[in-house]
Each structure stands twice: as structure tokens, then as C-alpha cells.
Amino acid sequence: MQTLLLWLFYISTFYAFIPGMISRIFGYRVFRKGIGRSEFALTFDDGPDPHYTPLLLDLLKRYDAKATFFVVGSHAEQNPEIIKRIHDEGHLIGIHNYVHKTNWLMRPATVKQQIKRTDDIIYSITGVRSTYYRPPWGIVNLFDFSKRRQVQIVLWSAMFGDWKEKLGAERLAGKLLNKLGPGEVMLLHDCGTTLGADPKAPEHMLVALERMLDEARRRGLRSIRIDEMIRQVQTSPVTQLSYGKRLVVGLWLIWEQCFQFLFRIKTIAPADPFLHYRLRKYQGEPVLMDNGERLTKGDPIIELHIDNRQLFELGVHSRSSAQLAIRMIRRMEKDLPVLAERIAADVDLAEAKALYGVSMLNRGPEKFGFMVLDLPDGWFARSTKFYLSILLSVIHPAGGARLKERSEVLVPKMMLMPVSELLGRMNHQRPQKQVKARERVREEELALEAELPGATVVH
């Protein structure tokens, strides 16, 4: 008996548990996130529901949002008019088995029958075959991977627990807004009659979703169908990169996440990150800045970092170095005013003397008031050039050829701008504490001059 149970454990582990973990953690043979810059995907499971799905369709229509519905075949069979409306209004229909039952508990032949039966129902109503499949609870088995040529398995990047009524519309809206962003594949439910769900839960989902769609419209984000999102990935220049380059990019992006965590890097616009920053002390040689201030070792500075993922996407989608520079300038034009506002409202940031950054992509920063200076020769300059050269060969439109053609000008540069210069350009002032402190110093200087006739205080 124990031997039999052990064999059942081994079989279930290799049949379902391990494939499920591989697909969820590594995304093997499944789609779960896009790469668009202004698009996200709304996906709805378990429907159609005769009450809630029509209300959902009305809501999507008001916001001109397209979605993907992974329908349960038995529900579709009972509500053909709703399936037809979903199709007629331009949404995508996917398969969620004929009955809402986990693939862990079904033989491969049974899963195949579930998919085919649901597809036949969809085809009989819409005249279109479905090739997009989401297994219930996102649980795949070993043989689901072999169906890759027949169906595209679609999972998700964000799930919210909206099948439970106790979550409430307010908390659900907060979760939705927190995950709203480009490339996200959001999992929601338009039916509450499946096992473990609450019948009235979709009511809260509709309220929360409307709030999120309002915010998406304000941010210039739009919901698209899964097939459109998949096409974006398939036609992206990223997919044309060699395995080696993709490996470099992957490691690069992982390192950025670790770096941001370890050094507590902050983001100027979390919803669409481009510039990151941290407050630290300057460690370089003394520099006389354009406003006459001298930056010396130990002075507080705001160190800027460009988001690696955004930089990579800008690079692979640019046809030339000039276009890449223009796109980076536009992003700086968007983020620098936000940074100025943050500095003007933060006493600690306002203590900084200068904005500081190092980059090989240094065309155009003078436009914003930055000084562009050579790095002092040494270990830091040489190691920085080696590191950035590898990355530039991946992200630059001309790739490694660019490095060979003009290697003498592709050197890392230091960029500096006095914080007072940024605030002045953006019509902001330092926080009140800073202003009063400077006024107090000036009053003390004037008092000293009055006490010592003929004395001059050097500024």
C-alpha cells in the first residue's frame, strides 16, 4: 500500500506539480506578460454569466477597452447570445475547459476533449476557432506543453483574488491601480458560480474596474486583446536578438532590480519608470560648476540612473543613434520637472549640491543645464567603460558595429547640474527650511561686516 502511494506521489509530481511550477515561475511555453509601452490586457475567467457579463461588456464599451474572455464551455453553451455579443463587440474568446476542473485531476485525453468541446461550442456561435487556452487555476500538466502547436497557453502577470466578496470594491480597486501598467496581463472574473467563488463577487469587481479604467484613461494606457499583445512580442526587435544577447539583457535587468533594492533607489514615476535616483555623497575630484559653486568630496549629490528596461526598449526600437538620443531627451523632458517638484518638497533632497550621472549616451544633456565632463583616468573610468560598452553593443541600434566605428568617442562622461539650476529652470524654490538657513547665514555675515569695518566676507 505504501509503495502504491509513493508511486502515485511520484506520478502526480512529474505529471502536474513540476510542470505547473516551471510554467508559473519561468514562463516556459506559456504567455503571461507583454512588452508594450502603453498597453495592458484585461482577461476574464469563468464566464459567461447571464447577469454580470453583459454589465461588464457595457463598461468596456464605454471606455473603448478590448478584453479577452476565457469561457467555460458549459456556460457558453447555456448563454450563446452573450458569446455572440462578446465576439461582435471585438473582444477575444479563449478556452477555459468545458467544466471548471483542474487539469491535475484529468487524463491528457480528457483535457483534450474539454478543449475541443469548448472550441466547437465557440465555433458554432461565432464561426471562429479559438487557439488561446487558460487552464483552470492556471494549473498545467506535463502533456499541456505538447499542445503548444494547437493552443497558446495564456497565464497572467497580476491576480487579485476578486472571486471573494469579502475583498470589497475599495480594496480591489487599490490592488488594480497598484498593478496598472504597460505589459500587465490582469486576471479577473465575470462569474461567481464556480467552486470557491462568491456569487456576488463580480459586483465588486465591476465597481473597482471602472475606477481603474478611469485612471488608465488619465495615464494614456489602453486595454488590448491577448492576441494583439502576443503579436507585439513576436514582432519586437527583442525577439530577433541572439540567445547570448538576450542572456546579457536578462542578467542586466536582474542586476538592476538587486541594485535598486540594495541601495534603496527611488523612482520618479513608478507607473512609467525612466529616471531613478538616490541621495549620496560625492566621491570624485573637486569640480567648479557653472554657477560658481565648487563640488567637493563629501558634498551631498542626487545620483541619477536611467531605467535599464526602458533604455533597452528605446535602443532596440530606435533606427539610429540620433533617434535614440531624441527619445531619451523626450523622456528627460517628462521626468525632470517631476524631480524638481520632489526636491522642492523634500528638505533632505534640497540639501544636495548637484545632480550627478555617468553615461556613454551623453548627447543632449546640455539642453537641460548639465555640464558634460570627462571622468578622471583610473580604475573607475576604465571599468565603467568596459561595463557600458558591453551593454551598448546590445541596446544601440547599430550594435557592436557602432563600437568599432567610433570607439574613440564612446567613453563614459560625467554629467553635473547644480540643484539650484534645476529648480530655477522649473520655477521652484528650495524648501522653507533651506531658504531660512541661507538667510540666517547671510544675516550673520552682514553682522560680522558691521562689527569689523573694512572686513569682506568671501562667498
Maximum alpha-carbon separation in the chain: 104
Query: Could you read off the pLDDT of 338-372 as tens digits, one per residue?
Result: 999 999 999 999 999 999 998 766 667 888 889 99
Residues in the chain: 459
Helix residue spans in 151-242 (DSSP H): 168-179, 201-219, 226-235
Distance of CA 94 to the CA centre of its chain: 25
Across 22-100, the runs of DSSP E, i.e. the strands, are: 39-45, 67-71, 92-95
Among the residues of 345-378, which ranges form H helices? 347-350
pLDDT band at 376 (very low <50, low <70, confident <90, very high): confident
- Cα-flanking dihedrals φ and ψ of residue 30, to 5°? -135, 160
Q: How confident is the model at residue 117 (pLDDT cuts 50, 70, 90)?
A: very high
Instruction: Return d(Cα 319, Cα 317) in angstroms, integer.
Output: 7
pLDDT in tens, 87-102: 999 999 999 999 998 8
Tell me the catalytic residues. 45, 189
User: How do 294-295 and 287-288 pair as beta strands?
Assistant: antiparallel
Grid cell of 364 as nine digits? 543632449
308-316 and 243-262 are packed helices; what angle lies between their axes, rounded to 10 degrees? Answer: 150
The 10s digit of each residue's pLDDT in 256-305 is: 778 888 888 998 887 778 899 999 999 988 999 988 999 999 999 999 99
**End-to-end CA distance of the chain, in Å?**
90
